[in-house]
A = this chain, B = another copy of it.
């Protein structure tokens, strides 16, 4: 399928599968020993999905949280006549269905957009852990907030930007997000998405995505060979897209918040 499997770089953050959750949460918060222990004690199950397979479909009542170990997934909604809207992408290191136990059933579906490996954790167990380790609860709220920011940005992208701006903006968002998990070079990365998938994310038709990419190529802004995307002029692209990475910079809980978490009055 894609050739990610062979050549993807080692997962700096995710090498030790059983503690994927620890590693992920640890990015946000300095974990204490008991916290790490509690997370490690969670029952996890790692498994793979082939490209095109659904992790969950609308209406499912699956109470699991997933950490993406490898590959890309997409949350999407199908309309009756076949239109599809991809709501968000989940990249390696992302967490899907973070508060699975809090949501009665899937309102969306989740599909593997490439061959993927995910790690499942029982969602109820996650909640229980937060009851004994409230700092972890705060970390989860924090991740949820970050996800909301991504969704808001997607709304702006799809609602008020032109096709040209949308594509440019998404390309940059992915660059920055992949950087955070060491899956991108300075200005290039593997983009394992078909133009149809891009269109369904950006609210555009396949054909128009193609036209738009052609334009970006002609203007010397990006190069795209196979799945390899490289950006020739990041600054100009950012200007076109009015892209400000501020919304992606939240790698760690702000100090003030961590202080509040650590010294409850």
Contacts and interface: CB of A to CB of B under 8 A. Distances in A.
Contacts of A257: 101-102, 124, 127
Contact of A246 (B87, B107, B200, B202): B107
A130 B137 contact: yes
Contact of A124 (B84, B153, B202, B256): B256
A160 interface: yes
A contacts with B: majority SS = helix
A149 B104 CA distance: 12
Nearest to A133: B134
Interface in A250-265: 250, 253-254, 256-257, 259-261, 263-265
A145 B103 contact: yes
Contact of A145 (B99, B108, B161, B242): B99
B159 A250 contact: no
Interface string A83-113: 1110110000000001101111101100000
Contact of A254 (B88, B102, B107, B153): B102
Interface range for A: 35 or more
A158 B261 CA distance: 37
A162 to B, nearest CB: 10
Contacts of A247: 107
Contacts of A142: 99, 102
Contacts of A158: 155, 158-159, 203
Given A148-B151, A158-B158, A159-B202, 18 more contacts: A77-B152, A85-B159, A87-B152, A87-B155, A99-B142, A101-B260, A102-B138, A103-B145, A124-B257, A124-B259, A127-B257, A128-B265, A131-B134, A131-B138, A134-B137, A144-B144, A155-B155, A155-B158
